[in-house]
Amino acid sequence: MDILSIKQRFGIIGNSILLDRAIDIARQVAATDITVLVSGESGTGKEFFPKIIHQLSSRKHGPYIAVNCGAIPEGTIDSELFGHEKGSFTGAHEARKGYFEVVNGGTIFLDEVAELPLSTQVRLLRVLESGEFMRVGSSKVLKTNVRVVGATNINIPDAINTGKFRQDLYYRLSTVPISVPALRERKEDIFLLFRKFASDAAEKYRMPAISLGEDGQRMLTSYRWPGNIRQLKNITEQISIIEKTRNISAETLAKYIPLPQNSDLPMLYKGEDSGHISERELLYKVLFDMRKDVNDLKQLVMNLMQNESPSSSLGENSHIIKRLYKDLQDVTDQEQPILVTTPEKSTDEPIQEPEELEESLSLVKKEMDFIRRALQKHEGKRKDAARELGISERTLYRKIKEYDLE
């Protein structure tokens, strides 16, 4: 079955290369019994992939069950997965089969697998390695033939470093990893999904479907969507129900988007590690960048004043240009004036040359050091380094290229 047929069968919408890649991996691995780990942010649609794997496998006629590991209390998770014997704990009035016993010959989807307690992780590892398990309160070894697909929205290597997840279980689970892209990485799919959700809401609530103008479409695709597809669906339904007009403008859409638009401006990030770069240092860097921009603008105004001629419109408005320059001068608070004359007339009004900041070299070096330290700390992972620095990945890429830090 090709990728397009899989999308149609499972109701997956999108033309993103990253999405197609994830579907293709699921399609290829389905014919085997290899354990798969699906990773991705919450709301990206990870639950579709174990269904694809099961339905395209030789186990498709066997049972399939999805278990939300994070929703089951720690005290009962072992009983749910592996079963228990009568009297094994308070309330165990009779023996019970667990999911691994019930789903024998089929596929079990362990959603939020990283939420499993460490003791349960040990039991799961044994099942994955040998297909053996024991019910709670029993010493009898049982066998099962189950295909396991796990999913998580957290960074498991980080959980391993903090002792919350077993490294051997991670390597056993992630024999084949599938990464589901976030919605902001699938910008070409955002409006397609919006139209689908708008159409579904119109059919569900028996009303005309809403539509977006060009300005609304731009806003829709520029938003970061931290809640991914789930958030987009919820907002689309809200607008469909609440708004009376069916043609939604960007101004109306902005009322339903709870967070500001993504920006490439540096942002302060408060880290938990005492070794993190301080907010004071980052703020100093931001202020320096702003001051540098003002000096660039001063240089531009200076060039205009030096190149103007009496017959030009600039010459006629030279007093406005000089006033602008003076305002910029006040911003940077310089103290050593020089005299500048123009072809139109001379003036004794003191005008300062754009400053060359003596500290600029050291500040650039300090910024380069910040970036190097962050990259070294996160072993070259730019996404983590950008979060450490409190800036966007795009800004970090630009800085790396600018300072030749490849």
Among residues 172, 153, 170, 149, the alpha carbon closest in space to that of 161 is found at: 170
CA dihedral (207, 190, 40, 149) positive or negative: positive
Stretch among 162-176, 188-202, 309-323 having the lowest mean pLDDT: 309-323
In the chain, the amino acid numbered 254 is: A
What mean pLDDT comes out for the span 369-384? 83
The reply to whether the predicted model has a pTM over 0.75 is no
- CATH 1.10.8.60 range(s) for the chain read 184-254
* Contact predicate 194/149, CB 8 Å: no
Instruction: Assign 147 to helix, strand or coil.
Output: strand
- CATH 3.40.50.300 range(s) for the chain read 3-181
Per-residue pLDDT band for 127 (boundaries 50, 70, 90) equals very high
Residue 266 has pLDDT above 60, yes or no: no
* DSSP assignment letter at 275: T
* Contact predicate 62/106, CB 8 Å: yes
pLDDT for position 269: 44
pLDDT for position 296: 65
> Which has more confidence, 329 or 333?
329
Residues with Cβ < 8 Å from 213, sequence gap 6 or more?
247, 248, 249, 250
Length of the chain: 406
Residue 107 tokens read as: 């596929």
pLDDT for position 265: 42
pLDDT for position 405: 78
What is the topology classification, in CATH, of domain 3-181?
Rossmann fold (3.40.50)
Buried b (16+ CB within 10 A) or exposed e, 168-185: ebbebbbebebebbbbbb
pLDDT for position 365: 75
Residue 214 has pLDDT above 80, yes or no: yes
Residue 357 has pLDDT above 60, yes or no: no
Residues with Cβ < 8 Å from 347, sequence gap 6 or more?
322, 339, 340, 341
* Contact predicate 406/398, CB 8 Å: no
On the 0-12 / 13-18 / 19+ scale of CB atoms within 10 A, 286 is middle
What mean pLDDT comes out for the span 372-389? 82
Residue 356 has pLDDT above 70, yes or no: no
Residue 121 has pLDDT above 70, yes or no: yes
Give the class (CATH, top level) of 184-254.
Answer: mainly alpha
Q: What is the pLDDT of residues 280-293, one digit of tens each?
A: 555 555 665 666 66
Residue 62 has pLDDT above 70, yes or no: yes
Residue 260 has pLDDT above 60, yes or no: no
Nearest-angstrom CA–CA distance, 168 and 73: 24
Nearest-angstrom CA–CA distance, 18 and 334: 52
The per-residue pLDDT of the chain, averaged, comes to 82
What mean pLDDT comes out for the span 287-302? 63
